[in-house]
Amino acid sequence: MATLDLVIQEDVTATPVRSTRRLGRLFWAALGWVIFVFAAATLVDVLPLPSPTDMDMLERRAPVSALHWLGTDGFGRDELARLIHGARISLIVGLCAPIIGLTIGGALGMLAGYFRGRFESLVVGSMDVLLAFPPLILALAVTAYLGQSIPNLTFILGVLGIPAFMRVARAATLTLARREFVVAAQALGASHARILLRELLPNVMLPLLAFFLLGVAVTIVAEGALSFLGLGVPPPISSWGSMIGEGRESLDVAPQLAFIPAIAMFLTVLSFNLVGDSLRALTDPRQGAL
């Protein structure tokens, strides 16, 4: 037996080396902006801002001044205060809605991809129905019956996101479930729950999280579009979409009222996409090795 031990020689260096990957300046700028918007939205109550709903009819569409840093809107409300309060709405809806999609869609997709069979047909079929349903009609129907509110808006956007998350999770699970590590786990006596949670979930989570950040960006835009159409948050609460909608009426005299919230939305959406992309590249341990 001793001779056998001698045969084993090693083909890699004895001490493992850790590789470090660099993140670009763009990533840090994007992350900085996201943190800045988060901080502003969280601290909105302690910041020394004027009320976002107090109207000052003498100062309508006022230009930038020491009192109103970004001027006032068509009703004389402080633009900066409305922008930051709007950020809060956009972020709450933008984060909560994809979480609904991620949880429900991800779970359904993994179960469908792992167990296949009739359950899969049922899930995929019902998601196709949901996808075929016109989203605006659904939004109109829900707001008409349940009323305009932030939870309702989040609910609509969340439900609309389920099919996409389901598809991402199912596609990833389908390819992974056939890998030998899953068969090896089964051969070692792992239960279905264990295989799903410990073997598959960590793998499926990566594409899902990357898709989640994309979902945040898309939802912020969708919330803006719904608010622009008057289906979003009820006035006088401000959201970026409703601010753009209100600014549209005075585009010729005060274009900044539409452009300032539009720029804020643009930067935030871009930042989420950039951060999502970099994080995906960073946390992907496969590096093309598989």
Residues that bind another protein (CB under 8 A): 1, 4-5, 7-12, 14-16, 116-117, 179-181, 183-184, 186-191, 194, 198-199, 202-203, 206, 285-287, 289-290
Query: DSSP class of residue 166?
Result: H
Q: Indicate the residue among 149 and 186 with the shorter CB distance to another protein.
A: 186
Q: Are 275 and 27 in contact (CB under 8 A)?
A: yes
For the bound state, the minimum distance from the C-beta of residue 216 to another protein, rounded and expressed in Å, comes to 22
User: Residue 137, Cβ neighbours under 10 Å: how many?
Assistant: 9
Q: Indicate the residue among 61 and 116 with the shorter CB distance to another protein.
A: 116
For the bound state, the minimum distance from the C-beta of residue 282 to another protein, rounded and expressed in Å, comes to 13
Kindly report the backbone phi and psi dihedral angles of residue 148, in degrees, each rounded to the nearest multiple of 5, phi listed first. -85, 120
Q: What is the DSSP string of 219-242?
A: HHHHHHHHHHTT-SSPTTS--HHH
For the bound state, the minimum distance from the C-beta of residue 251 to another protein, rounded and expressed in Å, comes to 49
Q: Indicate the residue among 9 and 253 with the shorter CB distance to another protein.
A: 9
Question: Would you call the peptide bond into 236 cis, given omega within 30 degrees of 0 as the criterion?
Answer: yes
For the bound state, the minimum distance from the C-beta of residue 108 to another protein, rounded and expressed in Å, comes to 20
Q: Indicate the residue among 66 and 287 with the shorter CB distance to another protein.
A: 287
Q: Indicate the residue among 70 and 177 with the shorter CB distance to another protein.
A: 177
CB neighbour list of residue 165: distance below 8 Å, 6 or more residues apart:
98, 101, 102, 104, 105, 106, 109, 208, 211, 212, 215
Query: DSSP class of residue 72?
Result: B
For the bound state, the minimum distance from the C-beta of residue 2 to another protein, rounded and expressed in Å, comes to 11
Q: Indicate the residue among 198 and 248 with the shorter CB distance to another protein.
A: 198
Q: Indicate the residue among 15 and 20 with the shorter CB distance to another protein.
A: 15
CB neighbour list of residue 9: distance below 8 Å, 6 or more residues apart:
none
Element (H, E) at 87: helix 79-100
For the bound state, the minimum distance from the C-beta of residue 123 to another protein, rounded and expressed in Å, comes to 17
Count the residues in the chain.
Answer: 290
Q: Indicate the residue among 46 and 188 with the shorter CB distance to another protein.
A: 188
- Cα separation values, 121 from 108, 180, 231, Å: 12, 25, 34
SS3 of residue 129 by DSSP: helix
Residue with tokens 């992350």: 31
For the bound state, the minimum distance from the C-beta of residue 11 to another protein, rounded and expressed in Å, comes to 5
For the bound state, the minimum distance from the C-beta of residue 126 to another protein, rounded and expressed in Å, comes to 23
Q: What is the DSSP string of 147-161?
A: -S-HHHHHHHHHHHH
